[in-house]
Amino acid sequence: MNKGLIHYMKAISLFSGAGGLDIASFMAGIPVAFSIDIEKDCIETLKINEEFHNTTAICGDLSEFSSEQIKGLSGLKENESFIVIGGAPCQPFSKNGYWVTNKIRRGINDPRADLVNQFLRVVTDLSPDGFVFENVESLLHPTNKVIVDSFIEIIQEAGYRYKIVRANSLNYGVPQKRKRLFIIGTKGNFKTEEPLITHGDSEDLLDSHLKPFVSVGEAISEFDNDMYFEKEELTVGGTYHEDLLEVPPGMNYKALTAWAGYPNPKFVADKRFWNFLLKLHPDRPSWTITAQPGPWVGPFHWNSRRLRVPEIAAIQTFPKGYHFFGNRRSIQKQIGNAVPPLMGKAMIEFLKESLDGLPVSKESECIGIK
């Protein structure tokens, strides 16, 4: 890459949700030109946040938009550098796989991979400089091997080098245990073996350059005052309210069993889901924030209440003051389904680094390093 210039590029975001991976792209210095999601509340969320004021945000089914339409709506110029980012849910979405455009291309012959095929369709049609694909870690399970193998074969045929990254959000400054899979593809060359890990277990940090994991108390304590009260947080009068009060911070219902030495046990150990009455400990990271928790599924606040919206957003590392559109259930789903922005930032920076040295677009020639 020419000295004194930066590699200027933009991002196209597919399956954007509430914008976790999109915010990550902004954090990594790559503005998002186009975002699409099928959920109206998600797109309204993007539109009410200032980061997206220059982003074309579309509510719609990706299968109904050609790749050429997507590029046109993004406003990308013919010679402009860009990447594609997205977390396609690997589950049946429609019965007919979408892989037929004006040209017939071979997709993944598995009904669960419909949305994966749509992601690949855009990548192979538009040939971006690189891409970041996010999914659940179980995509690597042997039962899904055909999906991953086919994905890799398709992107290699399209000219991409790739890395498969099994990541835990704890290692990137997120105050939450959350494991995810990323497949990162580049037309450039990876400079390192994996994205930069910044945090580790404090008990294993002797002579280490890593910072200790971020505790949930550090992340959300500022929201524990009456200014942020939400009626949905209350458990008083509920079936297990009194039991929740007795669970110590960092424990679950097993604290009230014979296994824990509890007198007159109320429950039997290992007979409930592990996150039943699960309570945060302020000095430790959070467990995974879920999209659709049951009424007594944690994590609960250590003060025996449900978590507030700004708390779950902070645990996911959305910027403070980020706004979410919709009712409480919709917002929980949006935040719970999101890629933690700090985690996504590490993945996009890893991709961005691999693209250093590729020809810069004409537009970049007037942009100097500050």
Task: Please pick, among 42, 59, 90, 366, the residue that the annotation labels catalytic.
Answer: 90
User: In terms of Cα–Cα distance, which of 346, 354, 349 is closest to 172?
Assistant: 346
Question: Cβ distance 117 to 97 under 8 Å?
Answer: yes
Is 90 an active-site residue? yes
In angstroms, rounded to a whole number, what is the distance separating the alpha carbons of residues 150 and 196? 28
One-letter amino acid for residue 74 of the chain = S
Q: Exposure of 200 by Cβ count < 10 A (0-12 exposed, 13-18 middle, 19+ buried)?
A: middle
In angstroms, rounded to a whole number, what is the distance separating the alpha carbons of residues 107 and 121? 8
One-letter amino acid for residue 245 of the chain = L
Torsion angle of C-alpha atoms 96, 102, 103, 109, degrees rounded to 10: -10
In angstroms, rounded to a whole number, what is the distance separating the alpha carbons of residues 110 and 181? 19
One-letter amino acid for residue 96 of the chain = N
Pairing of strands 10-14, 82-86: parallel
Catalytic residues: 90
